[in-house]
Amino acid sequence: MEQTEFYRPVWSEIDLGAIAFNMQQFRRLYPQKQLMAVVKADAYGHGAVPVAKTVLAAGADWLGVAFVEEGLALRQAGIEAPILVLGTTREAAAITAAVRAGLALTVYDRENLMQMAKLARQAGRRLTVHVKVDTGMNRIGVKGVDAAVELLQAAAEQPWIEVQGMYTHFATADEADKRFTRRQYDTFMDIASTLERHGLRPPLLHCANSAAAIELPETAADMLRIGIGLYGVYPSPEVSHTRIQLKPAMQWKTRVAMVKPVSPGETVSYGATYRVQTTEWIATLPLGYADGYSRRLSNVGEVLIRGHRCPVVGRVCMDQFMVRVPDGAGIQAGDEVVLFGRQDGAELPVEQMAAWLDTIAYEVLCMVGKRVPRVYR
């Protein structure tokens, strides 16, 4: 949801300049390669349409989405750049819509290929596909060199199918030990070499994600797929933070709704899980787990108010939660609250919230709910 006016003081602040900067950083590393900006999941919660327009202006050649619906939304916004649907597309209506919208689809088995060819013929327009190769994720993808040759040969016999690319996905590129990633890459390139000997090698090979783009430039192939790095988040703590400079693009904010003293022995929120020991000042914030602020942050998380780290006390409610604020800090209703981001020289990065939740920053960014307006600058 993008809007310029909202009535509840809860919003996600998106710095499109930071996203452009991050895109340009990857372009600087790979000036001669094609770059795909991955904008699936509403651009990791940042807003697919404004992000797509920003990254294309900053040097992206392709856009990557998970499902046909996401690609159609970009087309409806007037975006004409090449778009690859990275996920499974087996429903006839989805394939037909993709053909008509000029989306490229992922294919990985003969049955799906023949279905796509039939529907493309019926629509009277060739369908562009990229073949997905499974080199170790054991997710979707054709597995093994013989199966890949068979699939590419079948595709070459279909006049309504154009095989534009072939790709795989790395499982551990964001870890310190790169041996498995290198084995995946070698497997992928061995398949590509065999296909070339058969005259079947697609023109566009791609396998590197953000982590590989930062640390394994030898895996660049013809195109790199940049996802989390676009949004200013390093893929993991084990990935170099010095080879490329990234700027976080999202901050999540609200404002204090109420501040009041709570006496010793009183409890806060559902379940009475937090009991006040001495007189404490408790601030109520007007958002909760329905907005994506996880209930698992109850008695665990922190927020920034006037540069102070203020702990979450009691259970996070559906639409509200409470934090303890320092006595004498002058915090009052209307003060800005940072759930993750920066304030008055202090920082609470999204990675910290991810650590509290025992998850990754990707998930936290995608958790920010649809009823939280995105404000762009």
Domains of the chain: 33-231 (3.20.20.10), 250-376 (2.40.37.10)
- The number of beta carbons lying within 10 Å of the beta carbon of residue 217 is 14
User: What contacts 87, CB < 8 A, 6 or more positions away?
Assistant: 66, 67, 106, 140
- Per-residue pLDDT of 190-216, as tens digits, reads 999 999 999 999 999 999 999 999 999
Question: 190: which 2 tokens?
Answer: 């061995």
**CA gap 363, 353 in Å, rounded:** 10
What is residue 4's predicted lDDT score, i.e. its pLDDT?
57
Q: What is the pTM (predicted TM-score) of this model?
A: 0.96
Q: Which amino acid is at 322?
A: M
What is residue 127's predicted lDDT score, i.e. its pLDDT?
99
R_g of the chain computed on alpha carbons: 24
Distance of CA 300 to the CA centre of its chain: 25
Q: For the chain, where are the E strands, in sequence order?
A: 10-14, 34-38, 62-65, 83-85, 104-107, 127-132, 161-167, 204-208, 223-226, 250-255, 258-262, 267-268, 274-275, 280-285, 302-305, 308-313, 321-325, 336-343, 346-348, 374-376
Q: Is 148 left (phi over 0), alpha (psi -120 to 50) or beta?
A: alpha
> What value does the mean pLDDT take over residues 206-233?
99
- Per-residue pLDDT of 339-367, as tens digits, reads 999 999 999 999 999 999 999 999 999 99
- Supply the residues annotated as catalytic: 40, 270
**CA gap 100, 96 in Å, rounded:** 6
| Statement: residue 186 has pLDDT above 90 | yes
Percent of the chain at pLDDT exceeding 90 = 98
**What single DSSP character describes residue 157?**
T
